[in-house]
Amino acid sequence: MRRRDGTAGPIKRSLNRIAISDPVGWVFARCSGGYLRYRGCVLEVPVSRVSLRVVAAIALGRHEAAEARLAFRWLTTSANVVELGAGCGAVSAVVARRKRGNSYRHLVVEPSAELLPVINGNIIRNNSLAKPFVVHGFVCTSTSRSIEVDNSPCVKAAKVWTPAATEQLGARRFDGFGLEVLLGSAGIDSFELVMDVEGGEAALLLETPTILRNCTRLVAELHTLFWEGKRYSPDELVGALEGPCGFEIVERQGDVVAGIRKEQLNPG
């Protein structure tokens, strides 16, 4: 049973642990031919690049469920999108479906190089008018300061994936890897943000919140993290979003939040 705050109760969590498992994923992978339905989308989920547990979660509609729900509910149908941390592109596909019939730019930054072509394909498959710009690496601040994400130093140079450069991932290189550099290279001014970077959100929300000044809406999964020697909980990060970052949180499901820039809610 789902609680009022959007989190699963203990019984449902136990059932999820049983259902979202390698054996269940193997069955779905064998029966699906590498393509699964997910929240109205069609996803490619090659088991050579996507874990069996993720395959099971996608097939059962439980993979990044809160993030997908809020993205489809709160993002607009035509604005450009910046997505930080995309995995295999399940939420990317939901965003593309939300904007189906409209041309938009979709900048994705993902640290797992083997998933870049999968993400690119899942976006195009669900919105043929989308213009994906899929980048390998991490986003830091505008000054490209290194951060720690999963105990790995932040990548300061990025390579952009293109269909003609699947193996080398070397079509283009950035000297610095600040968000503003990537926005300029992708031809994006104002944008909507989808973010799930496992603690890497500290650089954007805490150090340089003004870097999001052109972000009109966001959907973000927040994590407990340490920044400059201090521990921050998801509740404290919500405070940063509503304070220096200038967003109004319009819905929250567990640690996933949807926000709209306050000037949009209260023009003038």
Letter string b/e over residues 57-81, b meaning 16 or more CB atoms within 10 A of that residue's CB? bbbbebbbbbbbbbbbebbeeebbb
* Residues 123 and 79 reside in one and the same domain: yes
Which positions of the chain have pLDDT values less than 70? Answer: 1-16, 140-177, 267-268
- The answer to whether the CB of 67 falls within 8 A of the CB of 196 is yes
pLDDT at residue 111, as a whole number: 81
Look at the chain and report how many structural domains it folds into: 2
pLDDT at residue 8, as a whole number: 58
The domain of 49 spans 1-63
Full-model pTM: 0.83
* Residues 125 and 216 reside in one and the same domain: yes
Q: Which of 23, 44, 63 is where one domain is finished?
A: 63
- The answer to whether the CB of 72 falls within 8 A of the CB of 26 is no
Selection from 217, 232, 223 nearest residue 254 by Cα: 223
Round to whole Å and give the CA distance between 101 and 119. 19
What's 152's domain CATH number? 3.40.50.150
pLDDT at residue 6, as a whole number: 54
- What six digits make up the tokens of 216? 């009109």
pLDDT at residue 167, as a whole number: 36
* Residues 106 and 212 reside in one and the same domain: yes
* Residues 83 and 155 reside in one and the same domain: yes
* Residues 132 and 228 reside in one and the same domain: yes
- The answer to whether the CB of 254 falls within 8 A of the CB of 5 is yes
Residue 248, C-beta contacts closer than 8 angstroms, at least 6 positions apart: 242, 259, 260, 261, 262, 265
The dihedral formed by the CA atoms of 203, 107, 59 and 2, expressed in degrees to the nearest 10 = 40
Task: Identify the burial level of 17 via C-beta atoms within 10 angstroms of its C-beta, where 0-12 means exposed, 13-18 middle and 19 or more buried.
Answer: exposed
C-alpha 179, offset from chain centre: 14
* Residues 118 and 207 reside in one and the same domain: yes
Strand, coil or helix: 206: helix
pLDDT at residue 137, as a whole number: 77
pLDDT at residue 157, as a whole number: 33
* Residues 115 and 86 reside in one and the same domain: yes
Q: What is the residue type of 35? A: Y
* Residues 89 and 167 reside in one and the same domain: yes
Helices 65-74 and 90-98: crossing angle, nearest 10°? Answer: 20
* Residues 50 and 161 reside in one and the same domain: no
pLDDT at residue 148, as a whole number: 34
Round to whole Å and give the CA distance between 138 and 169. 15
pLDDT at residue 253, as a whole number: 97
* Residues 160 and 251 reside in one and the same domain: yes
- What six digits make up the tokens of 85? 């941390």
